[in-house]
Amino acid sequence: MNRLQKIYNYAEPNMSLVVIMGGAGFPLYYWVWEYLFPQAYENLGLRLLCTASVFVMAFRDHYSNRIKKFLPVYYLLAMGLCLPYFFFFMMLMNGWSDVWVLSFMSSIFIHILLVHDTRMMFTQAFICVALASITAYYVKGPDLSFAEHKSYIPIFAFTYVFGNLFYFRNQVEHEAKVSIAKSFGAGIAHEMRNPLSALLSSFEVVRSIVPTSNSSYRNSHHLNAQEIQILNDIIEDSMKVIWTGNETIDLLLTSIDQNRVSNSTFCKHRAKKVIENAIDSYSYKNATEKRLVTLEMDKDFEYLGSDTLLKYVIYNLLKNAFRHRGTGRFKITVSSKRPPMATAY
């Protein structure tokens, strides 16, 4: 049922267009193929049945919740009737004429767009084509001439298979972008909670020092040296929190688009300083977690690059380490080792 619901939800934004196309298209093309460009066979009753099945979806927003639960199933049945069943049946009844061969090809593309699930679409196409063949054989008899036109079958199969593969690839890429956007939003919400909490705590301390409007200090209030030092420390810490928040946003944006960091911004950084800053500014759950991380760098070194990207690497390593920690003793040691010098011969 989840698969059907996903198909229905994906098609729902275009449902009004589907209703217009099916509701007006079937009667209109009856007139086209019956009078304007007469074909060997037409079936007004089947066209009206397809029109009625599509019009049911026009009132989808007015049904009760009990009926809405069955709309995904109904949608799949209606699309099967209106697309592969109808067009393959009419193609057989018209003796594989060029008009109906091309019409069936067109229905394949629409079928791929409206029922994008690969497994469900192929299953539906196979069942509907089989039912259309049985119905046509019952109506027309042994004059269907399958053998004479079997060369069309590989073309139809090619269109179904590769059309679906190309569309599936685009769909996967689209879903990946949506997933990244959701992950980005969740990351922003999670990573910014700690800086905002720190700012809130700082302002609460400021409020405890600065008199309110209800106090007796209406015009002036003297601060002692200790209070001034506390306020300066709070301002400095708040500025660090804001800078950390900005860096967090840069890191999250970098995780989505690596091209946001241009090579032209690269400069020399002291590795130890950047790593220490990354370890200190990481969003630990508590003070105990922070004590589990140690830095062992006997020799500092310079590197040409981005401090933001290096912090991003350290953050990811810490996050993965904490996520996969076991039940035994656990600690994280960040260290650097100089690679052995190559020996020339």
Give the model's confidence band at 202: pLDDT under 50 very low, under 70 low, under 90 confident, else very high. Answer: confident
Q: Is the dihedral of CA 307, 308, 309, 312 positive or negative?
A: positive
Residue 4 has pLDDT above 50, yes or no: yes
Q: What is the mean pLDDT of residues 10-25?
A: 90
The confidence score (pLDDT) of residue 282 equals 78
The confidence score (pLDDT) of residue 181 equals 67
Q: Is 32 exposed, middle or buried (0-12, 13-18, 19+ CB in 10 A)?
A: middle
Please give the residue that has the higher pLDDT: either 317 or 217. Answer: 317
The confidence score (pLDDT) of residue 345 equals 43
The confidence score (pLDDT) of residue 185 equals 67
Report the predicted TM-score, pTM, of the whole model to 2 decimal places.
Answer: 0.60
Residue 230 has pLDDT above 90, yes or no: no
Domains of the chain: 2-150 (no CATH), 264-338 (3.30.565.10)
- Of 127, 97, 92, 99, which is closest to residue 111 (Cα–Cα)? 127
Q: Is 185 exposed, middle or buried (0-12, 13-18, 19+ CB in 10 A)?
A: exposed
Q: Which helix (H) or strand (E) holds 228?
A: helix 225-256
Give the model's confidence band at 160: pLDDT under 50 very low, under 70 low, under 90 confident, else very high. Answer: confident
Please give the residue that has the higher pLDDT: either 219 or 95. Answer: 95
Which has the minimum average pLDDT: 108-117, 243-252, 253-262, 278-287? 253-262
The confidence score (pLDDT) of residue 322 equals 85
Which has the minimum average pLDDT: 236-240, 256-260, 321-325? 256-260
Question: CA 200 → CA 197, 207, 213, 229, 337, distances in Å?
Answer: 5, 10, 20, 19, 41
Helix axis angle, 307-323 to 225-256, nearest 10°: 90
Give the model's confidence band at 159: pLDDT under 50 very low, under 70 low, under 90 confident, else very high. Answer: confident
Residues 70-83 have pLDDT tens digits of: 999 999 999 999 99
283 Cα distance to chain centroid: 26
Q: Is 277 exposed, middle or buried (0-12, 13-18, 19+ CB in 10 A)?
A: middle
The confidence score (pLDDT) of residue 304 equals 87
- Of 68, 28, 67, which is closest to residue 50 (Cα–Cα)? 28
Distance CA 249, CA 184 (A): 10
